[in-house]
Amino acid sequence: MSEFRPTIHPVLTMPTADEAAALGAEGWRQALLKREEIIRHEVENPLYGCWESPIWRVCDALLGVPWMDEKEAERIRLNLKFKQPVNVILINGGWASSKTEYAANRTSRLMQRTPNGLTWFFHQTLNSSRDQQQPLIWKYLPPGLRGSRPILTAGTYVAYKVKTGFSDENFVLPNLHRGRCWTYDGGIDKLQGPTVNAAWADELITPDFVQAIRSRVSRSNGWFFITFAPIEGYTNTVQEFWDGAEVVRESTAFLNPDDNGPRDVARYLGLSEDECGLLKEWLNGRKKGAPPNVPWSRPEDCAKWLTGEPSQPAVPEGRKFKKVPRVLKPADPEEKSAIVCFHGSDNPFGEPLSVYLLNAAAGEELGNRYFYGVAKKGMARKFPKFSRHVHVIPAEAIPLQGTNYLFIDPCGGRNFFMSWFRVVTPTRAYLYREWPGNYEITDIGLPGPWALPDGKLGDGRQGPAQDGFGFGLVRYKREIARLEGWKDEAGAKWPEGKTEREIVSGWFAENGAREVVARRFLDSRYASTPHLQDDRPVTMLENFAEIGMFFEPTPGDDVAEGIGFINDALDYDTLKPVDALNCPKLFISADCKNTIFAMETWRNKEGSKGATKDPIDNIRYFLLSKLMAVRDEDYESDGGGHY
């Protein structure tokens, strides 16, 4: 009788000696048979039998796939600050992290559940599609469709060869669902026409393709998977999704020490030091002999995100490691997209220790791309220290007492952008309100974002809040009075025979206001530039004064100097805990979403036409005005609040 040799498996280890003794001879035999049966099922029917990484479940929940329990999916989404399912998911993964396996498996499952539907698959070239993507599509078809001969019937057409892929890059399933393989060659014009139920785009898709495919998928409320390893860094597509995105879940990066100590490869893999040592010894021996009886990695247990239990190994006492983004919520006004990072350790089948050993010399930035699927923004980012975790605080945490200032950046052809600052001490100030903001405007409603991510424009693109509302200076005064709670505005009466201008011109904050503003500033370029009115030159400062609002011009417009002032206000020692003695001078209310997006996005690439320039200008002007350089005893106690 031949000796039984158990199948090598990256996850299913053999029972230990103690476990075997407890099982007894027959129990041992049954355990081995069950193990072999699981492995056989994985090979024969990977669509439903493959091993799945815990991060797959997170993606399923975000997408709201039909086979997942709705209540469980909702709990996961809400835990990650997503109020509803998304239909676009960008999976940035490290090498061999299972991102492509996930997309291939899930698109196949969706095809089985959507009769008479259409799924699109995209890759860079025809050869790369046949070599990299189409084999996975084939792998995850149901077993009955993966025979050695083509299946050609009136309702089914599945013809696949290893060398050439699917015949004509098309196939039709028995439920009449069609699959079509495309490339990015030839532009997006070829994509005109049909509604698409699902799409999977793999590796280096461009922003124009993202928009074109997304519009087709949205017609059916379908699903769009985008997968690639950001080896080329912060590409246009990465920028399109990541600019302004909120990190809603982080993971400890055991390969990024923050204490000048060594990388902790074992904990990156979720293994003990002994397990990692045995695995490394076997790999360095070129896999001679039987592998050690250890898993090739233990992925982060994402299910514990809901319970609050540790999902990764504990950080050793005395050690410090940086964090990396795990799940992000893009600056998507419709909240229909998500970003998930797959780590190399998420996929034991990808031999993550081998991948690490081959790239162990990579520094932190490259290592983040290879192992964590995270690309860092280029050095063009103007405010490298800006962090939502440090500089952005809840609106209710902003002190109610301080001296308030208003800065306005007007612009011809689009709405003004207004920013309210509260100075509390000579070393502490808060941006507590912006306009337009994430709140309703009378007769307008919610204005939407001021700017949106754009993969081609370095400073983002104009959002709906920039489209002119048709406001004149009188209406702007009304908005300011409403937000600051002027007594005149609150009890306003509109007698017949008087114009809006006549009524509003008689409103003054000095008559009583919920929020006292000490000084108001207007961008000097617009404030002092004369224009003809009634055949005489007048300035915007004079126009505002005519309706009872008095502004001062902002200081000089040296952009480089202003950037330096902002970075100085944001500065703190990143190597020490943030506390009263180590903190920035400027904080921003979490309600000021447009300013936060601008801080993370603006690179001054489009100059005066930059979509995110106005919020930055107001901060520059505030800091250049040196309103914080006042003695503590000179500060007034002006109450204030938030809209």
Q: What is the mean pLDDT of residues 165-173?
A: 95
Q: What is the mean pLDDT of residues 279-300?
A: 90
Give dist(CA 32, CA 42) in Å, integer: 15
Give dist(CA 616, CA 607) in Å, integer: 12
Question: DSSP state, 288?
Answer: -
Is the predicted pLDDT of residue 148 greater than 70, yes or no? yes
Q: How is residue 186 written in tokens?
A: 């030839």
Q: Give pLDDT tens digits for 519-528.
A: 999 998 877 7
Q: Which amino acid is at 271?
A: L
Q: What is the mean pLDDT of residues 458-478?
A: 91
**How much is the mean pLDDT over the chain?**
89
Interhelix angle 613-624/593-601, nearest 10 degrees: 90
| Amino acid 638: pLDDT | 53
Q: Are 177 and 115 in contact (CB under 8 A)?
A: yes
Is the predicted pLDDT of residue 401 greater than 60, yes or no? yes
Q: How is residue 324 written in tokens?
A: 């990396």
- If pLDDT is split at 50, 70 and 90, which confidence band does 635 have? very low
Where do the domains of the chain lie, and which CATH numbers do they carry?
1-44 (no CATH), 55-255+299-314+322-372 (3.40.50.300), 397-634 (3.30.420.280)
For the chain, how far is it from start to end, CA to CA, in angstroms?
82
| Amino acid 378: pLDDT | 56
More confident residue, 540 or 80: 80
Give dist(CA 337, CA 633) in Å, integer: 49
| Amino acid 536: pLDDT | 63
Give dist(CA 158, CA 141) in Å, integer: 10
Is the predicted pLDDT of residue 569 greater than 50, yes or no? yes
Is the predicted pLDDT of residue 122 greater than 80, yes or no? yes
Give dist(CA 476, CA 538) in Å, integer: 19
Q: Give pLDDT tens digits for 412-456.
A: 778 999 999 999 999 999 999 999 998 999 889 999 999 988 877
Give dist(CA 19, CA 29) in Å, integer: 12
- If pLDDT is split at 50, 70 and 90, which confidence band does 642 have? very low
| Amino acid 16: pLDDT | 82
User: 73-76 contacts: CB < 8 A, separation 24 or more?
Assistant: 75/306, 76/305, 76/306
Tell me whether strands 552-553 and 392-393 are parallel, antiparallel or unpaired.
unpaired
Q: Which amino acid is at 183?
A: T
Cross-strand bridge partners of residue 223: 198
Q: What is the mean pLDDT of residues 541-554?
A: 92
Is the predicted pLDDT of residue 575 greater than 80, yes or no? no
Look at the block and give the residue holding tokens 């200076």.
473
Is the predicted pLDDT of residue 334 greater than 60, yes or no? yes
Lowest mean pLDDT among 388-392, 475-479, 487-491, 631-635: 631-635
Give the dihedral sign, CA 294/295/299/303.
Answer: negative
Q: Are 127 and 169 in contact (CB under 8 A)?
A: no
pTM of the model: 0.80
Interhelix angle 54-63/70-79, nearest 10 degrees: 100
Is the predicted pLDDT of residue 379 greater than 50, yes or no? no
Q: What is the mean pLDDT of residues 355-381?
A: 86
Tell me the CA distances in angstroms from 236 to 245, 535, 624, one per residue in order: 15, 49, 33
- If pLDDT is split at 50, 70 and 90, which confidence band does 352 have? very high
Give dist(CA 343, CA 490) in Å, integer: 55
Give dist(CA 440, CA 479) in Å, integer: 11
- List CB contacts of 506: < 8 A, sequence separation 6 or more: 488, 548
Q: How is residue 93 written in tokens?
A: 């993964």
Is the predicted pLDDT of residue 178 greater than 50, yes or no? yes
Is the predicted pLDDT of residue 558 greater than 80, yes or no? no
Q: Are 420 and 429 in contact (CB under 8 A)?
A: no
- If pLDDT is split at 50, 70 and 90, which confidence band does 639 have? low
Q: How is residue 486 written in tokens?
A: 């002027």
Is the predicted pLDDT of residue 380 greater than 60, yes or no? no
| Amino acid 150: pLDDT | 83
Is the predicted pLDDT of residue 532 greater than 90, yes or no? no
| Amino acid 286: pLDDT | 79
Is the predicted pLDDT of residue 325 greater than 60, yes or no? yes
% of the chain residues with pLDDT over 90? 66
Q: What is the mean pLDDT of residues 526-531?
A: 70
| CA atoms within 13 Å, Cβ hemisphere of 180 | 15
| Amino acid 91: pLDDT | 96
Is the predicted pLDDT of residue 3 greater than 80, yes or no? no
Determine what percent of the chain falls in helix, strand and coil, rounding each to the nearest 5.
35, 20, 45
Lowest mean pLDDT among 118-122, 495-499, 514-518: 495-499
Give dist(CA 239, CA 329) in Å, integer: 13
The phi and psi torsions of 462 (rounded to 5 degrees) equal -60, 135
